[in-house]
């Protein structure tokens, strides 16, 4: 893949900027509706919290045809006085460029890392372009721990609806925490801060032709930072409200990319995760407060249908690597009604670990294996929804904590059967 | 009388004896080549068995589904054993052919020539069948998983249909390679395949009337309650 910084117009812009203190990257693809707000929040964040620093905003675009890049170029806060009492006078820099390589968020991030590396940005952050709830404070919260606290990686902490981020809650958070021993609550949150050292470290890795180039980038960034002993913290950013991620994206493809990236990382760092015992909290910054969140519609009946269909049709594939107990449970579930159905934590943890081992041992084609996880994941989400229908945010968080503990308790099952 | 005996008994016997004498070196050479072939075949079998085991061929074949294919064919040997046996037998076979040629019997030579010319077709056909089976399994499984994830009720049927279509296609190609009923096979395949597609089209048309109606009504009158879960 060609480096983006070889492009003439980018080189010219880099020559003009020379060096920066802070860089914020925004990956985008057809986000004209929301990216203007994100650009303004970033600009206000620069002005309010880093008035004496040289700041750059980089928009790395995947070939949008809805005018996203034009929105980025043309958006600026004209009337700072209505937002801030004291504000910076000097302009901030902007680079909006298409990225090269496999279409996906990871390729967009690579471009951002490259520009950060060339300009020796001391602290960087990336924020999603579909955010509706981003405020200037997010920039401070993602950058300050790097500049003032000496942290290398700042993961986000949000208040999200109990049914928002279900891959995070049911797979990625419990798995990452159990494996690498750090309680990073939103390992694939999408909005991160990181140091110059970490950005340059990311660029040394040859992963840009894999699922990391797509939705796998978030889990890869978080795990790489933790597994390589970079200093990690979290910042509370408030509510996360965003447009749906690529509505056309197929769930099984998303699951394949995210879970595949997590399983690939397990193969890269086996000696590290096998040696971990328990888990520990990571420092958290920001003032935590409760927020009201928009309700989310859930069609549990349809989820149950998909789960039962998958169980009926795909059990013959799963029997090669799932234990008899799990298969018996799945068979039994066929007869249960929505009200009776629950997928216990220990069964779910065993399913994920068994899939990880099957992936490692290449028991079948890896894409088939991961895509066959979809109905089980839908079943688990349905069970979680049924169980927590009446629960408030705190109760739901407690349930997720219980699931994480189960994942930690079952680590021996994974370690003993890995090779 | 002596002359008569000479013509009907001694001379033919002498000619036969001359021919035997003439043939004997060929026969001995041929036997020797065959013995060398058998010994070499056994040695190669042992060497390749060790080599295949050392490179972990059995593990690879287990993952790629070849073992499953063999078990379905009631073959219990591992791929290493099977391949080394094949190599051993092919060696013996090649030496057997060379030894037969050494006999220099014109009829045998012609027979083996035609057989040898046909042999590559058999190998290619066998390879086509093997790949057809593996590809059929692969695409069948991909179709099954994709249709399950799309929530299609008759996913099992779709998976099987894809699997058998690919296999039938490869069987047709294999038969064509062998030159067996070349045109008949192609026409039969076209008729069967076209027939299946037509049958499916009619079945979908008749059986899916209500579904299509319900779908259009849903589109016109509004969708059912949708999930708004954000998975990431």
- What is the full per-residue pLDDT of chain B (232 aa) written as tens digits? 678 878 888 888 888 888 888 888 888 998 999 999 999 999 999 999 999 888 888 877 776 667 766 665 556 778 888 889 989 998 998 888 888 888 888 888 788 778 878 888 888 998 898 888 888 888 999 999 999 998 888 899 999 999 998 988 898 889 888 888 767 767 777 777 787 777 777 777 766 666 666 666 665 555 555 566 666 6
Of all residues in chain A, the one with the smallest CA distance to B153 is: A309
Give the whole-angstrom CA distance, residue B16 versus residue A396.
Answer: 102
Cβ–Cβ below 8 Å for A167 and B232: yes
List the structure tokens of A328: 């018996």
Burial label, A383 (beta-carbon count in 10 A; 0-12, 13-18, 19+): buried
Integer Rg of chain B from CA: 31
What is the domain partition of chain B in residue ranges?
1-104
Domain with CATH 3.90.550.10 in chain A: 4-285
Chain B CB within 8 Å of residue A334 CB: no
Cβ–Cβ below 8 Å for A313 and B227: no
Residue B226 is nearest to which of A167, A252, A297, comparing CB atoms? A297
pLDDT at A6: 63
What values do phi and psi take at A190, rounded to 5? 100, -20
Contacts of A298 in chain B (CB under 8 A): 227-229
Which of A20, A195, A196 has its CA nearest to residue A93? A20
pLDDT at B17: 86
List the structure tokens of B51: 């080599």
Chain A CB within 8 Å of residue B228 CB: yes
Chain B CB within 8 Å of residue A106 CB: no
Which residues in chain A come in under a pLDDT of 70? 1-6, 78-91, 244-249, 293-294
Which of A119, A121, A68 has its CA nearest to residue A96? A68
| Residues contacting A278, CB < 8 A, separation 6+ | A181, A408
pLDDT at B227: 61
Cβ–Cβ below 8 Å for B227 and A305: no
Q: Which of B67, B143, B232 is the best mutation test for A, with the most CBs of A within 10 A? A: B232
Chain A CB within 8 Å of residue B130 CB: no
Chain A CB within 8 Å of residue B72 CB: no
CA B162 remoteness from chain centre = 20
Cβ–Cβ below 8 Å for A299 and B232: no
Query: A95 with A57: CB under 8 angstroms?
Result: yes
Residue A245 is nearest to which of B153, B155, B232, comparing CB atoms? B232
pLDDT at A282: 93
Integer Rg of chain A from CA: 22
Cβ–Cβ below 8 Å for A299 and B138: no
Query: A58 with A111: CB under 8 angstroms?
Result: yes
Instruction: Give the three-class secondary structure for A95.
Output: strand
Q: Which of A314, A320, A370, A389 is the best mutation test for B, with the most CBs of B within 10 A? A: A314
Interface of B with A in 135-154 (CB under 8 A): 138, 141-142, 144-146, 148-149, 151, 153
CA B98 remoteness from chain centre = 25
Chain A CB within 8 Å of residue B181 CB: no
Cβ–Cβ below 8 Å for A215 and B232: yes
pLDDT at A398: 92
Cβ–Cβ below 8 Å for B148 and A296: no
Q: What is the CATH superfamily name and number for domain A4-285?
A: Spore Coat Polysaccharide Biosynthesis Protein SpsA; Chain A (3.90.550.10)
pLDDT at A66: 83
List the structure tokens of A373: 């996880």
Looking at every residue in chain A, the average pLDDT score rounds to 87
List the structure tokens of A339: 């009200």
Query: A50 with A21: CB under 8 angstroms?
Result: yes
Contacts of B138 in chain A (CB under 8 A): 365
Cβ–Cβ below 8 Å for B63 and A215: no
pLDDT at A106: 85
Burial label, A86 (beta-carbon count in 10 A; 0-12, 13-18, 19+): exposed
The region, left, alpha or beta by phi > 0 then psi within -120 to 50, assigned to residue A281 is beta
Query: Please, what is the Cα angle at A43 between A41 and A49, to 5 degrees?
Result: 90
Chain B CB within 8 Å of residue A168 CB: yes
Instruction: Give the number of other Cβ atoms within 10 Å of residue B46's Cβ.
Output: 12
Is pTM beyond 0.90? Reply is no
Which of B23, B22, B199 has its CA nearest to residue B108? B23
Chain A CB within 8 Å of residue B219 CB: no
Query: Please, what is the Cα angle at A269 between A266 and A271, to 5 degrees?
Result: 115
DSSP for chain B, written as a single string: -HHHHIIIIIHHHHHHHHHHHHHHHHHHHHHHHHHHHHHHHHHHHHHHHHHHHHTTHHHHHHHHTHHHHHHHTT--S-HHHHHHHHHHHHHHHHHHHHHHHHT--HHHHHHHHHHHHHHHHHHHHHHHHHHHHHHHHHHHHHHHHHHHHTT-TTHHHHHHHHHHHHHHHHHHHHHHHHTSSHHHHHHHHHHHHHHHHHHHHHHHHHHTHHHHHHHHHHHHH-PPPPP--B--
Residue A298 is nearest to which of B148, B156, B229, comparing CB atoms? B229
Burial B64-102 (b: 16+ CB within 10 A, else e): bbbbebbeeeeeeebbbbbbbeebbeebbeebbbbbbbb
Chain A CB within 8 Å of residue B183 CB: no
Contacts of A258 in chain B (CB under 8 A): 232
């Amino acid at each position: 893949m060609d480096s983006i910084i070889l492009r003439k117009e980018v080189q010219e812009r880099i020559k003009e900027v020379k060096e920066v203190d802070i860089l914020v990257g925004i990956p985008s693809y057809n986000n004209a509706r929301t990216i203007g707000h994100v650009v303004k929040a970033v600009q206000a964040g620069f002005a309010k919290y880093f008035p004496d620093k040289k700041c750059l905003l980089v928009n790395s675009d995947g070939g949008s045809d809805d005018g996203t890049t034009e929105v980025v170029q043309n958006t600026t806060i004209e009337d700072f006085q209505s937002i801030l009492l004291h504000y910076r006078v000097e302009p901030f820099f902007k680079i909006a460029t298409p990225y090269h390589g496999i279409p996906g968020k990871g390729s967009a991030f690579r471009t951002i890392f490259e520009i950060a590396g060339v300009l020796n940005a001391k602290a960087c952050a990336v924020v999603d372009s579909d955010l509706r709830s981003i405020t200037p404070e997010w920039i401070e919260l993602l950058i300050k721990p790097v500049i003032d606290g000496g942290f290398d990686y700042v993961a986000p902490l949000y208040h999200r609806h109990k049914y928002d981020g279900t891959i995070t809650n049911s797979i990625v958070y419990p798995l990452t925490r159990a494996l690498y021993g750090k309680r990073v609550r939103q390992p694939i949150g999408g909005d991160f801060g990181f140091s110059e050292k970490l950005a340059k470290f990311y660029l040394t890795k040859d992963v840009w032709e894999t699922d990391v180039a797509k939705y796998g980038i978030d889990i890869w960034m978080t795990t790489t930072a933790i597994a390589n002993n970079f200093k990690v913290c979290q910042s509370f950013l408030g509510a996360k409200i965003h447009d749906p991620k690529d509505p056309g994206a197929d769930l099984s493809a998303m699951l394949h990319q995210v879970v595949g990236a997590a399983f690939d990382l397990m193969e890269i760092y086996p000696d590290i995760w096998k040696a971990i015992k328990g888990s520990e909290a990571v420092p958290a910054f920001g003032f935590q407060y409760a927020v009201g969140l928009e309700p989310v519609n859930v069609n549990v009946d349809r989820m149950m249908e998909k789960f039962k269909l998958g169980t009926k049709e795909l059990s013959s594939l799963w029997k090669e690597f799932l234990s008899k107990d799990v298969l018996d449970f799945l068979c039994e579930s066929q007869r249960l009604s929505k009200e009776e159905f629950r997928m216990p934590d220990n069964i779910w943890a065993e399913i994920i670990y068994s899939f990880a081992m099957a992936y490692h041992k290449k028991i079948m084609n890896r894409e088939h294996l991961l895509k066959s996880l979809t109905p089980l994941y839908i079943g688990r989400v349905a069970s979680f929804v049924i169980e927590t229908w009446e629960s408030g945010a705190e109760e739901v968080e407690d349930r997720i904590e219980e699931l994480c503990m189960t994942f930690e308790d079952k680590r021996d099952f994974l370690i003993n059967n890995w090779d | 009388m002596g002359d008569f005996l000479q013509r009907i008994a001694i001379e033919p016997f002498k000619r036969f004896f001359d021919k035997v004498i003439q043939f004997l070196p060929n026969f001995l050479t041929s036997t020797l080549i065959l013995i060398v072939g058998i010994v070499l075949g056994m040695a190669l079998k042992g060497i390749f068995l060790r080599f295949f085991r050392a490179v972990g061929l059995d593990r690879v074949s287990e993952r790629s589904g070849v073992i499953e294919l063999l078990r379905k064919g009631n073959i219990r040997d591992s791929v290493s054993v099977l391949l080394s046996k094949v190599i051993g037998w092919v060696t013996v076979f090649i030496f057997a052919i060379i030894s037969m040629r050494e006999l220099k019997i014109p009829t045998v030579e012609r027979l083996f020539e035609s057989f040898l010319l046909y042999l590559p077709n058999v190998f290619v056909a066998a390879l086509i069948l093997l790949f057809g089976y593996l590809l059929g399994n692969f695409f069948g499984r991909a179709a099954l998983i994709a249709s399950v994830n799309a929530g299609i009720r008759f996913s099992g049927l779709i998976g099987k249909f894809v699997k058998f279509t690919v296999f039938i296609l490869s069987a047709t190609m294999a038969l064509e390679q062998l030159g067996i009923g070349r045109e008949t096979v192609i026409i039969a395949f076209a008729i069967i395949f076209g027939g299946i597609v037509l049958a499916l089209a009619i079945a979908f048309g008749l059986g899916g009337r209500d579904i299509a109606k319900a779908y259009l009504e849903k589109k016109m009158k509004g969708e059912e309650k949708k999930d708004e879960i954000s998975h990431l």
